[in-house]
Structure 1
Amino acid sequence: MKIDRLIGIITILLKNDKVTAPFLAEKFEVSRRTINRDIEDICKAGIPIITTQGYNGGISIAEGYKIDKTVLTSEELQSILIGLRSLESISDSSYINQIADKFSNKNTVISNNGNILIDLSSHYKISLTQKIEVIKTAINEEHLITFRYFYDKGEVDKIIEPYLLVFRWASWYVFGYCIEREDFRLFKLNRITNLLCMQQFFNKRDVPQEKLEFDRFFSNEIILVALFEEKVKYRLIEEYGIDSFTYIEDNRLMFKMGFSNKDNLINWVKSFGDSVQVIEPKEICLELKKNAENILKMYKEHDI
């Protein structure tokens, strides 16, 4: 992608006093003519580039424009590098390393072997990385995207104007304007298939600030009260923290938490088998009971 190459050229120029066009052409595997056009684009963006001809000539950024990396402490630089490495786990782009190089010079050295590893790709690294790259391209070039989306009511084909990639609640989402619904929506990437970047362009809309308050998509309207066996305590701690439950007399765990989606709540409770008893809401109790009766009936019909 051209934007990746432009970022890469800028980071190299920030790190070095002067480089040559042949060096950049070889580095990015493009022609010198392409590099010359890239330099023109960088100048148009407001970054002062100076080119000199002849012996000891080359390309450089005007004195006084470069970032003084000494204003950052080693701890701050290390935190930046950790963030860049975490992005590398869900990106096929090569410019992550080039950006990281910007924060290393003769006076400041950051080890690439840090003691913190963040992998944002979860269990779906290959498909997730591909989706993220397609969406990034669509956002940068202002193209519509189309995909099939799976949710609790079935599946549907969508066309949206993509605006943001969002990582929240341990998952990746694309935030955009849904053409069918005529409103801004949040779509979970793991529920998306058949993703395509369309040829059709869109004009960016002004996004109201309230639409960016993503917690509204996950309002905790359903309050679950349940008793759990102590043997599943590790799951409650892992998923909701040590303060999500209290002990009662028979050594069971009293759990109370808000949920936003009834189907997700029911599936989560069912994953505990007979190690949980739902107290409230009654509607959930009745659905779990009906589901258990249907399962029992199915096995009886098969003489099991």
Structure 2
Amino acid sequence: MQISRLFEIVYILLDKRTTTAKELAEHFEVSTRTIFRDIDALSSAGIPVYSRQGKGGGLSLLDNFVLNKSLLSEHEQNEILIALQSLTATEYPDIKIVLSKLSSMFNKDKSNWIEVDFSPWGSNISEKEKFNTLKSAIINSWIITFEYYNSSGVKSSRIVEPAKLTFKDKSWYLQGFCLTIKKYRTFKINRIIGIQVTGDNFIQKFTDELSIDIKEEPSMLIDIQLKISSEGAYRVYDEFDERDVVGCEDGSFMIATSIPKGDWLYHYILSFGTAIEVIEPESLRNIILVKLETMINNIKPKS
């Protein structure tokens, strides 16, 4: 039984007042027996659908029936519409149709007051296709293969039973059972390339190992202390945990945190330009100095 079809039947009855089982069957391309099962389901849910025989008869709702007054409070209506608006970000099939019809039934013309888009600014078509491929693989229980770069930039080939997509801290993650290493793993989606659907199905398994706590594959953490001037203030609370940040009287910030080691870290620190100072460890300072010397040599005029 399709929930969206039940909502649409109610929508049609509210809009047309009277219709027949035959008309509904033709509209949905199902049998009249299926329509009558749907009507029974609606009646069991407390929606007063009744049938009249003879000329001008058919299926109708009781006069003055309003869905929002019969089943859902004002708060519940808003919660449903907000949830559906959020779900449109995943481009879930037919969700916009259901949202439009529910908005009409709830008599809420301003259901588009919120828009959710998880894609980064400037996302290209290939990135959106990647998301849709993963979504379809999860829904249809398809095994997938791809190349993956971990936080240290090391590439590996993976065969994965995808379980769910998770959005956390400005990033999308794929969680699933990695057949390559026989363990549950979390993969950052923007590090996944070359996704292929194998065509092989698997049986979805539910496990506590797929928790909301995002833990990527192990990488070495180092303790660092940074000082960021007021020029870089706009990035501080976007990119660091507030518990690791201490504001200074001159408008700068002291940051003490643990962070994965790797080339990405050096480039990240350099992205702050003159607004950042590495306090500790000294080894990190030395690596940054070497990187800066290389950059200077790369941009020196050719003699």
Q: Is the contact made by 2:137 and 2:197 (CA closer than 8 Å) also made in structure 1? A: yes
* Percent identity over paired residues: 21
Q: 1:182-193, aligned counterparts within 5 Å? A: 182-193=182-193
1:176 to partner: Cα distance: 0.9
Q: Structure 1: where are the runs of 5+ without partners? A: 61-65
> Which residue of structure 1 lines up, in the alignment, with residue 132 of structure 2?
133
1:297 to partner: Cα distance: 3.3
1:292 to partner: Cα distance: 1.5
TM-score between both structures, scaled by the size of structure 1: 0.73
Which residue of 4, 11, 35 corresponds with 1:8? 4
> Which residue of structure 1 lines up, in the alignment, with residue 227 of structure 2?
227
1:253 to partner: Cα distance: 2.7
Q: Is the contact made by 1:228 and 1:276 (CA closer than 8 Å) also made in structure 2? A: yes
Q: Is the contact made by 1:8 and 1:99 (CA closer than 8 Å) also made in structure 2? A: no
| 3-state SS of paired residue (1:89) | helix
Q: 1:169-208, aligned counterparts within 5 Å? A: 169-207=169-207
| 3-state SS of paired residue (2:90) | coil
Q: Return the letter of the residue paired with 1:109.
A: N
CA deviation string 1:230-287 (max 9, x = no partner): 1121221443477733115x65332233434544433321101122111123332232
Distance 1:251 1:141, change over 3 A: closer
> Which residue of structure 2 lines up, in the alignment, with residue 63 of structure 1?
none
1:7 to partner: Cα distance: 4.2
| 3-state SS of paired residue (1:223) | strand
Provide the aligned C-alpha RMSD in A. Answer: 3.9
Larger Rg: 2
Q: Which moved more, 1:250-259 or 1:137-146?
A: 250-259
Q: Structure 2: where are the runs of 5+ without partners? A: 14-18, 44-49, 62-66
Q: 1:22-101, aligned counterparts within 5 Å? A: 22-23=23-24, 26=27, 32=29, 35-36=30-31, 39=34, 48=41, 56-57=57-58, 70-74=71-75, 76-91=76-91, 93-99=93-99, 101=101
Q: Is the contact made by 1:175 and 1:184 (CA closer than 8 Å) also made in structure 2? A: yes
1:185 to partner: Cα distance: 1.2
CA distance in 1, matches of 2:22, 2:177: 41
Distance 1:282 1:141, change over 3 A: same
CA distance in 2, matches of 1:245, 1:21: 70
CA distance in 2, matches of 1:172, 1:21: 45
| 3-state SS of paired residue (1:80) | helix
CA distance in 1, matches of 2:298, 2:132: 45
Distance 1:36 1:194, change over 3 A: farther
Q: Which moved more, 1:157-166 or 1:84-93?
A: 84-93
CA distance in 2, matches of 1:54, 1:131: 53
Number of aligned residues: 279
CA distance in 1, matches of 2:86, 2:134: 18
Which residue of 108, 120, 130 corresponds with 1:110? 108
TM-score between both structures, scaled by the size of structure 2: 0.73
Distance 1:254 1:131, change over 3 A: same
CA distance in 2, matches of 1:180, 1:19: 55
1:164 aligns with 2:164: yes
